[in-house]
Structure 1
Amino acid sequence: MRLFSALLVILSLLTFSVSAQEQLRTNITFESGEYTMHGELLLPVNRSNIPMIIFLVGAGENSSHRTLYKEFVEQNIEALFIEEGYGILYFDKRGIGESDGKWQRSGIYDRADDTKAAVNYLKSLDVVDPNRIGIVGHSQGGWVAQVVGSLYAQDVKAIASLAAPVFDTELHLTNIYYSEYICEGESEDKAFDKATKKAKSDINWVTWFPLKKAWRHLREISEFDPSSSLRRLSIPSLFVFADNDHMVYPGWALNSMNEIFDNNIPSHFTISVVPNANHDFKNIGMCASQEDVDSALYSDYFKTTFKSWILRNL
């Protein structure tokens, strides 16, 4: 038994060593206008002409690949694409981690500028294929991906918008509040009426009294509408929604898309709805407790759909 146990230890160490050699993780900085952005670069070893994914996190002070998104990126980005020879770039938003600036004073277009700076940084690296850089964004990061893809089609090959709105900020707030009221037991009509009024009230309030960081940020994005960016998107674009997403209802998103494109959604758009998944693509209901959400597993349907699309288009 001792010999067998010793062999298991040796095998596990060998496995760890091989795994550790599969990627090189490096802390990086790059300049975006007057700001220095800090992040991480993950590259498969012994590769050249590496296709790259820039991953963009959602809104909020705790949104970083190092914190709130740590589990998400490990299971849904790194585990899926490093083994396929892709590299990954993360960077913290302005004012998060060691990045310069203030996140609460940054709008969607500010984040798009920073992402373009990340693209420029990647193009300066000899090991990167400059023609195979894709932008993947989750939640608010998906809004940013939509903008980047529309403005910099010559620099970006494809974008993926994950659980991100395709409608304006006011409707997005309405969607969030509507879900809260539904989960509290309100009827659909009453929930929608209350949510609509609360969304309008909040936007009016933060216009004049942005007393908290979150309110200041809401003021920055209060007038954002992605419709013009969506119309300009000319590169392969993936939009993934989730059945049980309390922040972006798939039905509302599809209705918005059809309104924007007069029921003729472009052929270079791919739209997928992940069954039985929440905003983070975990297999859980919309009104589940945080404890249940934390223990839920990520959707295999999402992983398969997302990975296959990236491999085909990037």
Structure 2
Amino acid sequence: MKKLILTFLTLFLLLAPRLWASEMDTIPLTFESEGHTLKGRLLLPKNRTGKVPVILFFVGSGGNSSYATDYRNFLQFFLKSPLENEPVSFLFFDKRGVGESEGKWQNTDFLQRALDGKNAALHIKDHPDIDAERIYVVGHSQGGWIVQICLSEYPELFAGGISMAGPTFDVKKQLINDYQSAFICNKDLAPEKALKKAKRRVNRDLTIISLFPLQENWKQLKVIRKFDPKEYLLNVKKPLLLLFAENDRLVNPEWSLEHLRELYPNGFPDNFTYHIAAGENHSFKTSPFCFKGAWSDLKFSENTRDVMADWIKNEIGNVQEAGIRSKTAN
């Protein structure tokens, strides 16, 4: 019995600092965007001593993508846990028509999603505990596209961002990418043959969807099918980390880099950083390309988590130092 108690006390003493460090004040968030009431949470570190930077997160596609459910473990692993000892706050909100947020996600285009992010940031930027000069955006999958738009369209508001598995090519090519991967993994087709079949299938499906968008996902696709991030990527002047995964079946990293090289034939701008996560899939879990087992058996990547955390800490520090130098000079 004594041995059991000692073991419990030892575990408690080891884990207690970690548990205390992760404590945060949770503030319910309600704001308006284009006539819709959107809801989420602002998480502030309890041990804050001054104004802190904030990370605003954009979820991926679909009606089930919520920061509180589908993305709960993802956010804990990639953002909250690695930054728990840092003076950093988080802003999470559900997109239109998800959770308690009003509107219809399937009728919302990417510019509107970016506008919702802008309005969320405007809502909290004057909070006494928020450093308005250090508001960052992070997004996964479709949310990565939204990050690219935000940094392009609202540079006065956002200090930088991370696009996690966000394509640098257009929606149509992303669909082709998805179909090609499925034909390779499910039909055992060679990549070139799978690509030809994928292009034919996407052309057919887009024609049908434009005429008869019967399902919610089809309605969304009809709204976003012509989106191309080209003009936004060319206009991004703030720091941007582009994260890709080697075994991503939805966003081919080589296709993404190829598009970036077409946009910047003389070399990527200094504010761009990219990282290809070896042996990882679209969710940055360690996985072979054609994994067919249980998704729950896969583990999130510690390497990608560390790459993100290092980038965030570095950028937050750089902006803070620049602000201090500016105040000193004045």
Please state which band the TM-score falls in when normalised by the shorter chain: over 0.9
SS at match of 2:84: helix
* Distance in 1, Cα, partners of 2:159 & 2:77: 23
Quote the sequence identity (%).
Answer: 36
* Distance in 2, Cα, partners of 1:214 & 1:30: 26
Please show how residues 166-245 of structure 1 align to structure 2 within 5 Å.
Answer: 166-184=168-186, 185-245=188-248
Distance 1:306 1:11, change over 3 A: closer
Once the two structures are TM-superposed, the CA of residue 228 in structure 1 deviates from its matched residue by: 0.2
Once the two structures are TM-superposed, the CA of residue 9 in structure 1 deviates from its matched residue by: 5.8
Once the two structures are TM-superposed, the CA of residue 214 in structure 1 deviates from its matched residue by: 0.4
Aligned residue in 1 for 2:40: 39
- TM-score, scaled to structure 1: 0.95
The answer (yes or no) to whether the contact 1:23–1:82 under 8 Å persists in 2 is no
* Distance in 1, Cα, partners of 2:47 & 2:85: 12
- One-letter amino acid of the counterpart of residue 86, structure 2: E
Once the two structures are TM-superposed, the CA of residue 28 in structure 1 deviates from its matched residue by: 1.5
* Distance in 1, Cα, partners of 2:232 & 2:161: 12
Aligned residue in 2 for 1:313: 315
* Distance in 2, Cα, partners of 1:228 & 1:73: 29
Once the two structures are TM-superposed, the CA of residue 16 in structure 1 deviates from its matched residue by: 8.2
Aligned residue in 2 for 1:26: 27
The answer (yes or no) to whether the contact 1:174–1:195 under 8 Å persists in 2 is yes
Once the two structures are TM-superposed, the CA of residue 65 in structure 1 deviates from its matched residue by: 1.3
SS at match of 1:276: coil
SS at match of 2:139: strand
Once the two structures are TM-superposed, the CA of residue 46 in structure 1 deviates from its matched residue by: 3.1
* Distance in 2, Cα, partners of 1:244 & 1:197: 24
Whether 2:291 is the aligned partner of 1:288: answer yes
- One-letter amino acid of the counterpart of residue 251, structure 2: V
The answer (yes or no) to whether the contact 2:147–2:161 under 8 Å persists in 1 is yes
Aligned residue in 1 for 2:282: 279
- One-letter amino acid of the counterpart of residue 254, structure 1: L
Aligned residue in 2 for 1:81: 83
SS at match of 1:96: coil
- One-letter amino acid of the counterpart of residue 40, structure 1: R
The answer (yes or no) to whether the contact 1:43–1:82 under 8 Å persists in 2 is no
Aligned residue in 2 for 1:95: 97
Aligned residue in 2 for 1:118: 120
Once the two structures are TM-superposed, the CA of residue 198 in structure 1 deviates from its matched residue by: 1.3
Q: Which runs of 5+ in 2 are unaligned?
A: 317-330
The answer (yes or no) to whether the contact 2:284–2:300 under 8 Å persists in 1 is yes
* Distance in 2, Cα, partners of 1:17 & 1:75: 14
Once the two structures are TM-superposed, the CA of residue 260 in structure 1 deviates from its matched residue by: 1.4
SS at match of 1:46: coil
The answer (yes or no) to whether the contact 1:28–1:41 under 8 Å persists in 2 is yes
SS at match of 1:224: coil
Distance 1:84 1:238, change over 3 A: same
Once the two structures are TM-superposed, the CA of residue 124 in structure 1 deviates from its matched residue by: 2.3
* Distance in 1, Cα, partners of 2:80 & 2:56: 12
Q: Which moved more, 1:43-52 or 1:125-134?
A: 43-52
* Distance in 1, Cα, partners of 2:18 & 2:74: 24
- TM-score, scaled to structure 2: 0.90
The answer (yes or no) to whether the contact 2:22–2:85 under 8 Å persists in 1 is no
Aligned residue in 1 for 2:8: 8
Once the two structures are TM-superposed, the CA of residue 169 in structure 1 deviates from its matched residue by: 0.6
Q: 67, 71, 79: which is aligned to 1:65?
A: 67
